[in-house]
Amino acid sequence: MKRHCKILFIVISCVLSTGRFFPALAQQNPHKNIEKNCGKCHLPTDWQTIRFDHGATDFELLAQHEQISCKSCHSVADFSRVSSNCASCHSDVHQAKMGNDCRRCHESSGWEVFNVEEIHENTQFPLLGAHLLVDCQSCHQNQQQGDFALLTTDCVGCHEQQYLTTENPNHVANSFSTDCQSCHDLNDW
């Protein structure tokens, strides 16, 4: 008798969930393009708590990405239609002038840039000597937000004021070269 009750319960559950006989009682799938295996992501006791393992996808959620809601990146109707390209969710303050590989400079822990020395190794201006101690804004002050591609690597590009105002000896009056490295080294003036 118990076995018949279990089978009857399963049959009734299936009939109700399909909505074939009682469409008002059927649960609609809000995810139009995901198979209906709700338990794969949701807890049966609480539909709001998600337990989906994002590490099994091509985009593991790390740091800041762990803190945001699924709907921030995904359309509820189709969770599969999401790009892993940063610019698909984030505004590009660099206006595509730095390329589309944000991970070259940024990490998912935040927008701060911690690997400045490493980044500069891949440019025409590796940070050497005293330049390692200078904050970024000292050199990049006249650039638009994040547009570093147009900077000059000539010393006088950043040190013109020192060149023009140095009195002992007067660089302008003596027609000294604006190639600072011809007299100075990178560690000290």
What's the pLDDT at 55? 77
How far apart are the C-alpha atoms of 47 and 102, rounded to whole Å? 34
pLDDT interval class at 69 (50, 70, 90): confident
pLDDT of residue 96: 75
Beta-bridge mates of residue 43: 46
Name residue 85's amino acid.
N
The pLDDT of residue 164 is 94
Q: What is the pLDDT of residues 114-154, one digit of tens each?
A: 778 888 888 888 888 888 888 877 777 766 666 676 677 88
Q: Which of 31, 44, 28 is nearest to 71 (CA)?
A: 31
Confidence of residue 171 (pLDDT cuts 50, 70, 90): very high
Q: Global pTM?
A: 0.49
Sign of CA dihedral 89, 91, 96, 100: negative
Q: Which amino acid is at 62?
A: L
Whether the per-residue pLDDT at 172 is higher than 70: the answer is yes
Q: What is the pLDDT of residue 137?
A: 75
> What digits encode the pLDDT tens for the residues 88-104?
788 887 777 777 788 77
